[in-house]
Structure 1
Amino acid sequence: MLKNYIALLLILVSSLRSNAQLLQEKKTFTKQNTLRGSITPERAWWDLTYYHLDIAVQPDQKFISGKNTIQYTVLQPHQVLQIDLQNPMVITKVLQDGKALKVTHEGNAHFITLKSTQNRGDKNTIEVYYEGHPREAKRAPWDGGFSWKKDKNGKHFIATSCQGLGASVWWPNKDHMYDEVDSMDISVTIPKGLMNVSNGKLKQIETNNKTITTHWTVKNPINNYGVNVNIGDYVNFSEVYKGEKGPLDLDYWVLSYNLEKAKIHFKDAPKMMKAFEHWFGPYPFYEDSFKLVEVPYLGMEHQSSVTYGNHYKQGYLGNDLSGTGWGLKFDFIIIHEAGHEWFANNITNKDIADMWIHEGFTSYSENLFLDYYYGKGASAEYVIGTRRNIQNDRPLIGVYNVNHEGSSDMYYKGANMLHTLRQLVDDDDKWRQILRGLNSEFYHETVTTEQIEDYLSKHTAMDLAPFFNQYLRTTKIPTLEYQLENGELKFRYINIVDGFAMPIQVEIDKHSEWLFPNAKWQTKTIKSERIEVDKNFYVHTKEI
């Protein structure tokens, strides 16, 4: 029974944050999917520059109200602007220059008709007022929304999570990944006796009669789903990390009764920062600090405000997802979710169909953490071990323009694809510079799969188009078919896309050699009676 339980757990983990899972299985999409997932004409004409989200949270009523001030630059003249907010939340009014504007509602998309002429280059502002009982997350972070919980002392313990589902589940915004706001302020009013922790740095705590208002400021571009509210009986401790760009504030916000436990357990955070700055380059948000914030669900990569709910255990809730033992050398949530600061928050997919960029690279970061502290062998064992989580049910890339994720295999199939690519580069210093270069080249940018492919092809000096077509766009795993007879080795690839001809290392008579298979049979004379394919390559083998 225990084995069956762990197997079920692994299947569950392989679909982390699959908020759009039901949509993914459909072969047809609705107009709402298109309004949510495409760059509509009512989104394309304006460039988002600043938000001020100013809300009051009433925990006893599970109710929020307030406004979002939205600043934008006009790219081309247009008079209708799309803002997204999901039912049952409602927009109560929209103002520009103090004048009420007409709002037409179409499901979760709301079209605002502007009165003043929108001239190219103008910098304008609207204020969107809203309120309601936001969707309650039933199984956060996978289905998303507000988590209204209580801690063991009976105090409110509240958090948001909304990847895939969209930030518009709880606040009005331009809810598409392609356009990140340049900077943001977050003001949250809550009852006295609680603390709210959001993104960026704390500017001020304003004390009122029965409430407090926390004011947080974000100085870097941020994606919508990365914005969060976390409310609880928090206490804070901190340290300063000497990073590649200078002093970096590491702040930890935990429930009051977990303070001493957290001071010991969160030592993985500076270790993470050291390893990832080595592999990926400087932490991308020095001006906004780095925080770990305890929450009542597993965790999420909210930018500069990484949420944590792994119960102060090593591995994933005390389990090793690789089955090798190496997964118990670190706290999975601290390492994985913080890895997203580079891949998801620094480099962000333009369309959620390319979410493998977030999850493949970040899952791969787990074994790079091991590589830094325990060596290349440990790293390889771990990532190879995670193959048991791969289902090969659907391609890693989803359907574009309808808010549709690819397969949950984007995690560990993505990681094993990158581990395989590292073998092809065959130079660890070069591989490290490629990873650091990605975070420099696409610093604070939204990207497409094609941009990542082109960058890797250029900097590896390889034509990687067939390689990516194979691993990203099909469920087929290359199979090296071979026959060894009378000192002659015959070999070829089967189960491959056109043009796939990945070199592969094999061990022959205790010596490592490269083979260069393709779809056609090739022969090689050898003196050994057996060969062994290097397990670092994510391929299957078939001896005939």
Structure 2
Amino acid sequence: MLSALVLLLLATPELPQKGEPPLTERTKRSGGAIDPEQAKLRFDDADLAFELLPDARRLNGTATLTFTPTAPLDELRIDLDRNLPVSAISIDGRALPRESWSNPDGRLVVKLPGRVPAGRTFRARISYAGTPHVAVRAPWDDGVVWSQAPGGRTWFATTAQGYGCDLFWPCLDFPTGEPAAATLRITVPAGLSAPSNGRLLGVDKLPDGRTTWNWRVKRPNTYGLALNVAPYEQVSGTYRSRYGNAIPMHYWHLPGRAAQARGLFAEFAPTLDFFEAVIGPYPFADEKMGVVETPHLGMEHQTINAYGNEYRKAVEGFDWLFHHEFAHEWFANQLTAADWDDFWLHEGFATYMQPLYGRWREGEARYAAMMDLQRQQITNKAPIVRGRPMTSEEVYETAKGGPGVDIYYKGSWILHTLRRLIGDKAFFDATRLLVYGRPDPRPGNFAPRFATTRDFEGYVRQVTGRDHGWFFDTYLRQAALPELIERREGGRLLLEWRTAAGAPFPLPIEVAVDGRIEHVPMTGGRGVLAVPAGAHVVVDPHARVLRRSLAVEAMQAQRAGAR
């Protein structure tokens, strides 16, 4: 006779492991060419109710989505992982029969009860439940993460940048598909907290001891909505902005880590001050600056950035992971790339902000050291921008032909070179236009926006009065770096830029001649400098220009061979 324990084990369904349940190829795609029917939708509002069931590792959800079509609409197409099967749908309160919808591969197609004319707002209520996909190695791949907090309590998080928002809620899974606002109602077991995006509306205590955490966020990035559940403790404070407003700051951390949490929290206000001084106002001051400790490394979840860097100390004196994700409040959440082909606008700028912060804190030596570390990571395997709609994975994954980490480090070095070319004022003026759409941002006079690489090029042209297309074409639309050829002939130094496309590349260069800095204009991509016989010559002595380096290539090849 089987024991009660064995019977219980046999009756208990096996919990999902990493990578389970599997995803369809459609669910793994985020962005790319937009479905024509989805392109008709203006996404007005998302009201999202979640119930977390940790023991079964399940998620129940009800999404009430409000849309206004810009053209007549006969069916609603919403992205949703088929591992979260739909049990009911209603349109404007009218329940639809089961045969009205299908979701064979990760796109929920709903036959509307009648044609919806352009301009007529309608509301879809979608009830679903299931086992969400467990990430294999978050945040480099996506899904949910189940872990344990001290004491064995639930520690849960979501991450969805690569595969998209449809991993846990029905959405429009492309960058410009964000709703104008979202409400999140997150119900969790007793003793757990659920910090999330935006402003806390209140916490409801249910009769059985569970709680529902209610949040409201404006213009959330599609992948930026996040669920975080644990027995969190909180550190809070207020930042008095140089713009005159007060910004609430919150950090949710695991029990037993109060000292480390206070140390990280001490970085919040100085980092805010840096960004407000250099870029402009914190974009979400009327909601909060929020960070939450997560069982994965990190992600730029709007106003609730994920932090999992284990409070590691660094020679720069600040936490790079916290700083990088916080930079995305400007470069990803306030400014959102209109297509994943412009992914570098998120990652290149966020990466460049770290050496700029090092410079802000300690000066040029720290800046140079940080830039040098980034230079070693540039691979030049694919163009950063290809001029066509791209999915997130097509950009992020080198195995799929994407530039991979070059959107971070090469993007940062491109900005470093551009800043030296056009000067600080023009560089930051163009950056401010990119982020805010205006030169004079103040709290309350701007809103989150979309932009492209071409937009940034236009802003650079606007503030400098010159066309720098040659610069962006060479660095962004070609994989290979420009190479600077040096020759000494008699008393002259001959310099010539060579690019993969063979186009003129008139990037000026500095040359140190016996310690004296000379500026060579490189008109038409060529330059000549008189150099005395026997003089010691160093080209680009301050490493201000991104160019091919045989030394870096040799080092990278050696490292690759040693693996």
Match of 1:284 in 2: 283
Deviation at 1:35, TM superposition (A): 8.8
Matched, 1:444 2:448: yes
1:54 has 2:54 as partner: no
Aligned: 1:472 with 2:476: yes
Identify the range of structure 1 (134-143 vs 252-261) with the bigger mean alpha-carbon deviation: 252-261
Give the distance between the partners of 1:373 and 1:270, measured in 2 at CA. 14
What is the aligned partner in structure 2 of residue 297 from structure 1? Answer: 296
Give 1:32 shift.
7.4
Match in the other structure for 2:313:
314
Q: Is the 8 A contact 1:35 1:109 kept in 2?
A: no
CA distance change for structure 1 residues 240 and 156 in 2, over 3 Å: closer, same or farther? same
Classify the secondary structure of the residue corresponding to 2:73. Answer: coil
- Give the Cα–Cα distance (whole angstroms) in 2 for the partners of residues 419 and 521 of structure 1: 22
5 Å-filtered alignment, 1:253-264, equals 253-264=252-263
Amino acid at match of 1:508: V
Distance 1:485 1:184 in 2: 67
Q: Distance in 2 between matches of 1:173 and 1:166?
A: 9
- How many Å separate the matches in 1 of 2:29 and 2:191? 43
Q: How does 1:388-427 map to 2 (within 5 A)?
A: 388-397=376-385, 400-403=389-392, 404-405=394-395, 406-407=402-403, 408-426=405-423
- Paired with 2:319 and 2:94, the residues of 1 have a C-alpha distance of 51
Give the Å deviation of 1:34: 7.8
Q: Is 2:80 aligned against 1:89? A: no
Q: Which amino acid aligns with 1:47?
A: R
Task: Report the CA distance shift for 1:145/1:467 in structure 2 as closer, same or farther (over 3 A).
Answer: same
Report the Cα distance in structure 1 between the residues aligned to 2:204 and 2:358, rounded to whole angstroms.
Answer: 43
2:556 aligns with: none
* SS of aligned partner of 2:194: strand
In structure 1, the gaps of 5 or more residues are: 1-18, 20-28, 316-324
Q: Which amino acid aligns with 1:447?
A: A
Provide the rounded CA distance (Å) in 2 between the counterparts of 1:496 and 1:507: 27
C-alpha contact (below 8 Å) 1:507/1:533 kept by paired residues: yes
CA distance in 1, matches of 2:248, 2:28: 40
1:460 alignment counterpart: 464
* Identical columns (%): 30
Look up the match of 1:319: none
Distance 1:80 1:35 in 2: 21
Distance 2:72 2:29 in 1: 23
CA contact (8 A) 1:492 1:518 kept: no
> Which protein has the larger Cα radius of gyration, Structure 1 or Structure 2?
2
Gaps of 5+ in 2: 1-18, 396-401, 439-446, 552-563
Which digits, 9 at most, give the CA deviation of each residue in 1:340-394, with x for residues without a partner? Answer: 0000101111211211110000000111111211123322331132111112222
Q: Distance in 1 between matches of 2:246 and 2:267?
A: 18
SS of the residue corresponding to residue 161 of structure 2 reads coil
Alpha-carbon distance in 2 for matches of 1:519, 1:436: 31
Distance 1:32 1:261 in 2: 38
Q: Is the 8 A contact 1:71 1:126 kept in 2?
A: yes
Greater mean alpha carbon deviation, residues 491-500 or residues 335-344: 491-500
The alpha-carbon deviation at position 519 of structure 1 amounts to: 6.6
* Aligned partner (choices 466, 481, 486) of residue 482 of structure 1: 486
Provide the C-alpha distance between the structure 1 equivalents of 2:280 and 2:527, rounded to a whole number of angstroms.
Answer: 42
Q: 1:370 to 1:150 in 2, by over 3 A?
A: same
Q: 1:507: Cα distance to partner?
A: 1.7
The offset of 1:68, in angstroms, is 0.9
**1:431 and 2:420 are equivalent in the alignment:** no
Q: Which amino acid letter does the alignment assign opposite residue 340 of structure 1?
A: H
Asked whether the 8 Å contact 1:493–1:518 carries over to 2, the reply is: no
Give runs of aligned pairs for residues 51-130 of structure 1, distance below 5 A.
51-101=46-96, 102-130=100-128
Query: Structure 1, residues 142-193: CA drift from partner, whole Å, max 9, x if none?
Result: 1111101002321111000010110101111111111321111100111101
Counterpart for residue 275 of structure 1: 274
Alignment of 1:209-288 (within 5 A): 209-218=208-217, 220-243=218-241, 244=243, 246-288=245-287
1:105 counterpart letter in structure 2: N
Deviations 1:102-150 (A, max 9, x none): 1133411122121243222222211111111000012111111110100
Separation in 2, partners of 1:37, 1:432? 30
Shift of 1:253: 0.6
- Contact map agreement 2:84 2:132 (CA 8 A) in 1: yes
Question: Deviation of residue 415 (structure 1)?
Answer: 0.2
Post-superposition offset of 1:438: 2.3
For the Cα contact (< 8 Å) 1:384–1:536, is it kept in 2? no
Is the 8 Å Cα contact of residues 345 and 444 (structure 1) preserved in structure 2? yes
Q: Distance in 2 between matches of 1:125 and 1:118?
A: 11
Tell me, yes or no, if the aligned pair for 1:480 and 1:541 is still in contact at 8 Å. Answer: no
CA offsets 1:391-426 (integer angstroms, 9 cap, x no match): 222221365244421412110100000000011013
Which residue in the other structure is 1:176 paired with?
A: 174
Tell me: CA distance 1:35–1:390, structure 2 relative to 1, closer, same or farther (3 Å): closer
| Whole-angstrom CA distance in 1 between matches of 2:205 and 2:27 | 42
How far residue 485 of structure 1 moved from its aligned partner, in angstroms, is: 3.1
C-alpha contact 1:380 1:536 (8 A) present in aligned 2: no
Amino acid aligned to 2:414: M
Q: Is structure 2 residue 326 aligned with structure 1 residue 338?
A: yes
Closer, same or farther: CA 542–489 of 1 in aligned 2, 3 Å: farther
- The answer on whether the counterparts of 1:481 and 1:542 sit within 8 Å (CA) in structure 2 is no
Residue 321 of structure 1 corresponds to none
Match of 2:511 in 1: 506
Contact map agreement 1:479 1:542 (CA 8 A) in 2: no
Structure 1 residues 472, 335: CA separation in 2 closer, same or farther (over 3 Å shift)? same
Deviates more, 1:476-485 or 1:183-192: 476-485
| d(CA) in 2 for partners of 1:258, 1:366 | 26
Farther off after superposition, 437-446 or 30-39: 30-39
- TM-score, scaled to structure 2: 0.85
Q: Does structure 1 conserve the Cα–Cα contact (< 8 Å) formed by 2:78 and 2:108?
A: yes
Cα drift, residue 57 of structure 1: 0.5
**Partner deviation per Cα, 1:31-88 (whole Å, 9 max, x = no partner):** 8788953221111111001101101010111100121111112211121221001132
TM-score (norm 1): 0.88
Structure with larger RCO (C-alpha < 8 A, sep 6+):
1
Aligned position for 1:537? 545
Which letter does structure 2 place at the counterpart of 1:418?
L
Q: Is the 8 A contact 1:295 1:308 kept in 2?
A: yes
CA shift digits 1:438-466 (9 cap, x unpaired): 22217511222211222223223332212
Shift of 1:30: 7.7
Find the partner of 1:516 among 518, 521, 545. 521
CA RMSD of aligned residues (A): 2.3
Matched, 1:495 2:483: no
Q: Is the 8 A contact 1:38 1:401 kept in 2?
A: yes
Partners of 2:181 and 2:425 in 1: how far apart?
A: 35
**TM-aligned CA distance change 1:71 to 1:276, over 3 Å:** same
Distance in 1, Cα, partners of 2:187 & 2:527 = 70
For the residues of structure 1 that align with 2:244 and 2:83, how far apart are their CA atoms? Answer: 44
Task: Look up the SS of the partner of 1:287 in the other structure.
Answer: coil
Kindly indicate whether the alpha-carbon contact (under 8 Å) linking 1:509 and 1:527 is maintained by their aligned counterparts in 2.
no
Change (3 A) 1:433 1:207: same
Shift of 1:216: 0.8
